[in-house]
Structure 1
Amino acid sequence: MSDAPLTLERSGKLLHLQFNRPASLNAIDSAMAEAFLGAVTEAVADDAIRVIILSGAGRSFMAGGDIAQFSRDPGSIPDSLIEPMNKAILLLSGSDKLVLGSVQGPVAGAGMSLALVCDLLIAADNTRFSFAYTALAASGDLGISWSLPRLLGLRNAMGVALLGDSIKADEAQRLGLVNRVVAAEQLAEQTLNLANQLAELPALASASIKRLMQAAVQQDLGSQLAAEKQAFSQCIEQPEFHTAVAGFLAKRK
């Protein structure tokens, strides 16, 4: 087994990035953050990759930041840990590629932050989400103050952040944090099935949907209608559109 903090596995249109510090529940340290930024930078530049899977080795997706580094060198955290992770998150968010998070066990602090910036999220039934930052007298990072209010609404987001309750997988799905919940022993298989399904979607259409959905919470209706029209016009020019229309018509005969 590799002792690298992040492992990469390429399969066709898929790239699987797995956080690989299972003994510490994949807690992020500076080495992992730099490895993640490097892998993401290469991935978003690779036109052959359509879907990026994020997962964690062992019994947890990620249980937050590395407490040992927090204790040993807290001054290093903003620049050597948060900054490279922020750059990677912005690259993933701005990329046309779909990002699929696959989570299990404790998903806390930075782990919850990272999970929520994925485009889609599949969770094992043993997953427990926890904001966790307040337990360290910290305010949050890696976009959690951006993601939570957009996914839950302001009131619910404040409750999750300040009251400290953990959220079980089924409740997370009900709240809209998770797309699918599966049995823990089926997580790897179901993640791969979903990733392959996403990889076969028309490239321009799926990329346009991602951009439009991201922009919707910040634009007025008129701007969003114009953006939809522009994206649809671009899709019409693609061979996949004409093939899909022809296939639809053939089924009606």
Structure 2
Amino acid sequence: MSAELRAERQGDCLVLTLHHPESRNALTAAMCAAGLEALTTAQRDADIRAVVLTGAQGGFCSGLHQPDAQGGLHDWILALRDCEPLVVAAIEGQARGAGAALALACDLLVAAADARLQLRDPLLPWLDVGGAQWLASHLLPRPACNEAALPGFGLDAARLHTLGVVNRLCAPGLGLQTALALIGALPATGHGLHKSLPDPQAQASELHVHLAQQAGIVQAGSTS
């Protein structure tokens, strides 16, 4: 079964589904490139009100599938932060490493009761893949962020909701439905749903520098 990012219009929403079930939706370079292209398309289409990012078959994303996907992932993360219109993550099951970064880069998070956020990526555990730990450090109290980054640990959906990171909780299997309902409840403006609180310029620059540093570590390791 091939790894792919599936894009589907549901009304005025663009639904992007990470589809790589045999690896629990681990990311390939092609999937990251497709994600970046899909966001570019969404920004150009005035009929797209919001974007939903989710995973196939009861999982969100287990991390990177291959090290060479990291460059494309970084571009995708930065695009998610800058994207207009609004992007909602619908998380079921695991969101690990690269998957956690994708979720935390979105504007709103919907999580099923079985969802779990783990910041360390199993493929490159010595790196902050996708800036997952950086993003979490700007959303979570430090002790909770440390716990989510420890090997074998993580934060479940209920804890994330209590900490204010998850906007809506739902039953397993209802993540996408709940995300679409949340978008549908927001007032229509006729020009998409735009971010109410855009990233401060300094914070966006810090993330860009951080991701470049992580990429440099990988490059240095591959040439040593």
Shift of 1:159: 3.6
Structure 2 gap ranges (5+): 204-224
Cα deviation 1:122-145 (Å, max 9, x = unaligned): 001111111233784422122223
The reply to whether residue 215 of structure 1 matches residue 200 of structure 2 is yes
CA distance in 1, matches of 2:136, 2:26: 21
Cα deviation 1:81-123 (Å, max 9, x = unaligned): 1222222222222223100000101111111111011100000
Q: Please give the secondary structure, in 2, of the residue aligned with 1:143.
A: helix
Report the equivalent of 2:53: 54
The reply to whether residue 89 of structure 1 matches residue 89 of structure 2 is no
Q: 1:157 aligns with which of 145, 148, 164?
A: 145
Structure 1 gap ranges (5+): 71-76, 219-253
Q: Please give the secondary structure, in 2, of the residue aligned with 1:144.
A: helix
Q: Please give the secondary structure, in 2, of the residue aligned with 1:93.
A: helix
Shift of 1:176: 2.2
Contact 2:59–2:91 (CA under 8 A) maintained in structure 1: yes
Cα deviation 1:138-173 (Å, max 9, x = unaligned): 221222233111101344323422464121110111
Question: Structure 2 length normalisation: TM-score?
Answer: 0.80
Q: Look up the equivalent residue of 1:39 and give its one-letter code.
A: A
Report the equivalent of 1:124: 112
Question: Structure 1 length normalisation: TM-score?
Answer: 0.71
Report the equivalent of 1:172: 160
CA distance in 2, matches of 1:153, 1:101: 21
Shift of 1:22: 1.3
CA distance in 2, matches of 1:120, 1:24: 25
Question: 1:4/1:165 Cα in 2 relative to 1: closer, same or farther (>3 Å)?
Answer: closer
CA distance in 2, matches of 1:126, 1:155: 22
Contact 2:116–2:157 (CA under 8 A) maintained in structure 1: yes
Contact 2:118–2:154 (CA under 8 A) maintained in structure 1: yes
Contact 1:125–1:184 (CA under 8 A) maintained in structure 2: yes
Report the equivalent of 1:15: 14
CA distance in 2, matches of 1:203, 1:93: 22
Report the equivalent of 2:206: none
Contact 1:20–1:57 (CA under 8 A) maintained in structure 2: yes
Shift of 1:206: 5.4
CA distance in 2, matches of 1:119, 1:15: 15
CA distance in 2, matches of 1:139, 1:3: 27
Question: Mean alpha-carbon deviation: is it higher for 118-127 or for 5-14?
Answer: 5-14
Contact 2:3–2:28 (CA under 8 A) maintained in structure 1: no
Q: Look up the equivalent residue of 1:169 and give its one-letter code.
A: A
**Superposition CA RMSD, Å:** 2.6
Contact 2:92–2:111 (CA under 8 A) maintained in structure 1: yes
| Matched positions, count | 203
Q: Please give the secondary structure, in 1, of the residue aligned with 2:139.
A: helix
CA distance in 2, matches of 1:158, 1:88: 25
Question: Mean alpha-carbon deviation: is it higher for 201-210 or for 157-166?
Answer: 201-210
Q: 2:178 aligns with which of 190, 198, 203?
A: 190
Contact 1:85–1:142 (CA under 8 A) maintained in structure 2: yes
Query: Max radius of gyration: which structure?
Result: 1
Question: 1:163/1:203 Cα in 2 relative to 1: closer, same or farther (>3 Å)?
Answer: farther
Question: 1:183/1:7 Cα in 2 relative to 1: closer, same or farther (>3 Å)?
Answer: same
Shift of 1:175: 1.8
Which structure exhibits the higher relative contact order, with contacts defined as CA atoms closer than 8 Å and separated by 6 or more residues? 2
CA distance in 2, matches of 1:142, 1:12: 30
